[in-house]
Structure 1
Amino acid sequence: MKKVLLTALAAATLGIALPVAAQNLAIVNGKPVPKARVDMLTQQLAKSGRPVSPEMQGQLKDEVIAREIFMQEAQKRGLDASDDFKSQMELARQTLLIRELFADYQKTNPVTDAEIKAEYDKFVEANGGKEYRARHILVPTEAEARKAIADLKKGAKFEALAKQRSKDPGSGANGGDLDWANAASYVPEFAQAMIKLKKGEMTQEPVKSNFGWHVIRVDDIRDAQLPKLEEVKPQIAQQLQQQKLAAFQENLRKNAKIE
């Protein structure tokens, strides 16, 4: 009977001790290191976009134990009581709390599909219509522009003349080629002259802008090639999310009583 009681007592004792021990990752210099620290580190890595694979669990365990060793040494030296440490801890507390505030706002104020669609429609309206494949020759004076037009009418090649005379460093070397773009991409004077041209036509008079004098030729015209909504949805959502967060921050500043 006594043996049975001792066995039962031992089992009961183990039954209490085992769950407590299971909560600890290790005992470092007599101090328990809870397994929850590995979970916290795992969550932090996941938030930063680095999910933890099963193979990394051993590395995380070693990292948590190493941190405990280093913390114990720092505390032994009294570093956790220094003014510098306390200041850094306060800054870290503020940073984490502000980060949580912004994360909570974004979670409770998500960007909706309707908002994304409305923003996409605005983009289409601003960038739709026609696109032009144009070339130009940019020169400093009206006289030089008129000379270029005269030479082109005599048979000079537009591409060759642009390479020789154009002062536009971006397009000059490419024969004046400006690639595909809508009219809104150019300064008003340039755009107004360009949209009056048909495919293959060239301006008969020099076009003045704040860059100088232009001779423009339209090589081709097409309907605007815009991305589909689904292709740009993530970028639009991110942009709107940033705008919402910026407005939230500005509203907090505006309503704060600062004396």
Structure 2
Amino acid sequence: MKKFSHTATAAAMLLVSASLLAPLGASAQNVAVVNGKAVPKARVEALLEQAVKSGQPKTPELEAQVRDEIVLREMFLQEAEKRGLAASPEYKTQMEFARQSILIRELFNDYQKKNPVTEAEMRAEYNKYKAQAAGTEVRARHILVENEELAKALIAKIKAGESFEDLAKTNSKDPGSAANGGDLDFANPGSYVAEFGDALSKLKKGEMTSEPVKTQFGYHIIRFEDSRPAQFPEFDAVKAQLEQRMVQQKMADFRDSIKAKAKTDYKFSN
């Protein structure tokens, strides 16, 4: 009987080891096997990545939930396919809508990646808003009531020496200022409705309107408290908000450009 050489024995052992390790290597790529079908770990990694991008922290608990979800999906998927649902018209219609949605989303994601809002663009926009906000801010107090008679009665009380602030707390129906004695803080005069702004502009510091001022909200008693040069936040304080708004505007412009250059006989409703 011919004996194996040491070289032949070593080669045979390598072949056996390789045959044993092959299934281990394959199983390392899968998270499970469901009804004989492997569920690849790549699915888990892809879904986990989506969850993290949406803002969820990557934790062992989240990873376990994602694995469970992927395996459950495979079970449900196999059952749906077994019942022939993949051939139904409803399924095909929904798949087409899903394909369109995903492709359109990728179109806008691709545009955003290739056309980011730059620091220079943000600073230019910031300076534009800052220039528009230049001027004077005014601080006013007001008491807002529903009818003219009550407003006139309150004016009389204030002229007789009662506290404007106390009457505002007990009578004003403006939830944003009543608790603070009618204080509206500093604001651009143009931010008020026309009737309110016009009445305020005629007052000097410390003066109050002698007659109720009617607006769409009711009847106001207005007192001019103070004025100062317009304040504007520093760039870094509004940078994130500014960037978000500019990204949205760029995306809207991109959408409109596609719509404008498309050749169609369709008439949009707006």
Alignment TM-score, normalising by the size of structure 1: 0.80
Deviation of 1:155 after TM superposition, in Å, equals 3.5
Q: Who is 1:155 aligned against?
A: 160
Matching of residue 245 in structure 1 with residue 251 in structure 2 = yes
* Greater shift in the superposed pair: 246-255 or 45-54: 45-54
Question: CA–CA distance in 1 between the matches of 2:232 and 2:92?
Answer: 54
Deviation at 1:253, TM superposition (A): 1.0
| Preserved CA contact (<8 Å) 2:145 2:173 | no
What secondary structure does 2:116 align onto? coil
| Range 241-250 or range 114-123, more displaced | 114-123
1:169 and 2:150 are equivalent in the alignment: no
Aligned pairs for 1:89-100 within 5 A: 89-100=95-106
Show the counterpart of 1:220: 226
Letter in 1 for 2:84: G
245-254 vs 111-120, which moves further: 111-120
Q: In the alignment, what sits opposite 2:131?
A: 125
Q: Which amino acid aligns with 1:73?
A: E
Q: Which amino acid aligns with 1:169?
A: K
Q: CA deviation at 1:93?
A: 1.1
Q: Which residue of 2 aligns with 1:39?
A: 45
The answer (yes or no) to whether the contact 2:151–2:212 under 8 Å persists in 1 is yes
Matches within 5 A, 1:75-90: 75-90=81-96
Rate the CA distance shift 1:3–1:249 in 2: closer, same or farther, 3 A: same
SS in 2 for 1:50: coil
The corresponding residue for 1:11 is: 17
Code of the aligned partner of 2:135? G
- Per mean C-alpha deviation after superposition, the further-off stretch among 118-127 and 202-211 is 202-211
Instruction: Check 1:45–1:136 CA distance in 2 against 1; reply closer, same or farther (3 A cut).
Output: closer
Structure 1 range deviating more: 206-215 or 173-182: 206-215
Which residue number corresponds to residue 110 of structure 2?
104
RMSD over aligned Cα, in angstroms?
Answer: 3.5
Q: Secondary structure at the match of 1:250?
A: helix
Deviation of the 1:77 alpha carbon: 1.0
Distance in 1 of aligned mates of 2:145 and 2:106: 56
Give yes or no for contact 1:25–1:35 (8 Å, CA) kept in 2. Answer: yes
The answer to which of 116-125 and 168-177 deviates more is 168-177
**Taking structure 2 as the reference length, what is the TM-score of the superposition?**
0.77
For residues 35 and 154 of structure 1, the distance between their equivalents in structure 2, rounded to whole angstroms, comes to 79
Cα deviation 1:55-81 (Å, max 9, x = unaligned): 432332222122111111111111111
Is the CA contact (8 Å cut-off) linking 1:116 and 1:236 kept in structure 2? yes
| CA offsets 1:179-198 (integer angstroms, 9 cap, x no match) | 33221112345434434543
Gaps of 5+ in 1: none
- Contact 2:142-2:182 within 8 A present in 1 as well: yes
